[in-house]
Structure 1
């Protein structure tokens, strides 16, 4: 859920146009669910990928704003070869352009999201597909299938459940219904604020994660070292972890100053819910930590899922390079990237087998 865009919708005092990619076939610069707000004066918040596609969308937003009618715009990126003047990404995408966005569903979504609620927007496109639409009707659905606002109509509750499970939007072309899940805000719990920790905090924040950095050394975790959007906590690791609100959208990166502290953090998080957890260190160090976790009797599936050594293998060495490798792996989890099964299989193959009593 893009809190910045949604808050801009609810706070706006002018008429705004919302462009959302609702369907992608083949290759496209951005995925379904990507949004761009265009103000009455032409100012933009967000991007749907730039280039000719965005220019065409901006022109359609202007037309929509002037006519007061919503549109469904299809852009083909099937140009043939480098000499072509058309885009050559290799796919098509459809963009829903809403002429006048009702802020009320977004206001409700933000309030409920702040309480950790999982929600789904359902937008009904009324009119002839690929032409000017008669209306766009927005409904807000909770995780139990309850209609919080908007019409119920022909909403498919199985699609609602699948959207919440997969985290991915979908477009029912037959019924003209677009389903978009609104999952809890992605949070990074960063355990350790040394050189790598500081670099990871900056990189993760720029990628849209809400970052909390924990360290037990006041002189190292000076808030002045971090951007104002990054929360810093000075406390013993085990205490801070116990007080942190974990959920299925939590990412954990362990980069403390010593293996004994890494082990404390690992033991503390293995009993909690999270989306991703990784530990920085050499293969020997992380192997020793994994062996101890196995000996301690923690859930084998959670141990197998740990990203150790942490980050994508891009040959990173400097703190900034390591931060890129680590956040890139987090993004792979965010997007359910196709490389994940191969990564986890390779890591599991290197793990020690449980000791036989």
Structure 2
């Protein structure tokens, strides 16, 4: 791994400095909303290219920092890291480096174990509707560690929403131009009428968002479902939505409803 000296010339980082640089990159990437996998050599036996503590970072945009040994073994680690980025599950990889003819990814004569640790940014909760309940949901979701995006079509209502990482005043179409929703993310629809529910859901169901919940009565949801069907939205897509949202806790005030 290299960095730059004060005069701009390259300087190779080794040992603890290289590891610290990788960890710094990891923190920076996740802080900017990227996902990355940290690969660490945790156990070795006999002759191997890298020893315990060696690290490599594989990012969601195809970049790599550091090395766990190079060659075919590292190529396999990178492929496993890409799979790790897709499913978010850690992995423990064991490689014999003895006989390529038998499928081993090396000839050093040893054995190496590598741990893959996925690091993902916080999941996003999109709160649509910044009334009393939407604000309570936003504050609670922020407290629980989510990245929260709050939106309302009324500019005055969308001002100073406590706990929101991003506030967008405008239609849902404008929100989705700024926010990419993934299967790890969630939407809470707490608008003031069914027309807004339908418009929000029409756009949300075109994304890969993991879950969608809509506040309201069962009767209101029936009306919304019919409107979605009239727009040609398939029943299977409509069934991605949970409504009425929440648990029967006897909640009355906005904070209680947010918890439910």
Both proteins in one fold, TM over 0.5: yes
CA contact (8 A) 1:200 1:323 kept: yes
Q: Distance in 1 between matches of 2:94 and 2:191?
A: 50
**Long gaps (5+) in structure 1:** 1-98, 129-133, 326-357
Q: Distance in 2 between matches of 1:119 and 1:314?
A: 39
* Structure-2-length-normalised TM-score: 0.69
> Are 2:172 and 1:241 aligned?
no
Partner of 2:85: 164
Correspondence for 2:19 among 102, 106, 110: 102
1:104-146: CA deviations, max 9, x gaps?
1233334545675442111211369xxxxx7422211245876
CA contact (8 A) 2:41 2:68 kept: no
> RMSD across aligned C-alpha pairs, in angstroms?
3.2
Q: Residue 138 of structure 2 aligns to a residue in which SS?
A: helix
1:147-169: CA deviations, max 9, x gaps?
43222464545643442232222
Query: Residues 1-357 of structure 1: matches in 2 within 5 Å?
Result: 102-113=19-30, 117-126=34-43, 135-143=52-60, 147-152=64-69, 154=73, 156-157=77-78, 159-172=80-93, 175-223=112-160, 225-227=161-163, 230-235=165-170, 237-248=171-182, 249-325=184-260
1:268–1:145 Cα change, 3 Å: closer
Q: Residue 102 of structure 1 aligns to a residue in which SS?
A: helix
1:294–1:149 Cα change, 3 Å: farther
Aligned-residue offset at 1:203: 0.7
**Long gaps (5+) in structure 2:** 1-15, 46-50, 96-111
1:315–1:160 Cα change, 3 Å: farther
Q: Distance in 1 between matches of 2:61 and 2:192?
A: 44
1:315–1:136 Cα change, 3 Å: farther
* Structure-1-length-normalised TM-score: 0.52
Whose Rg is larger?
2
1:151–1:280 Cα change, 3 Å: same
Larger relative contact order (Cα-Cα within 8 Å, sequence gap ≥ 6): 2
Aligned residues: 219
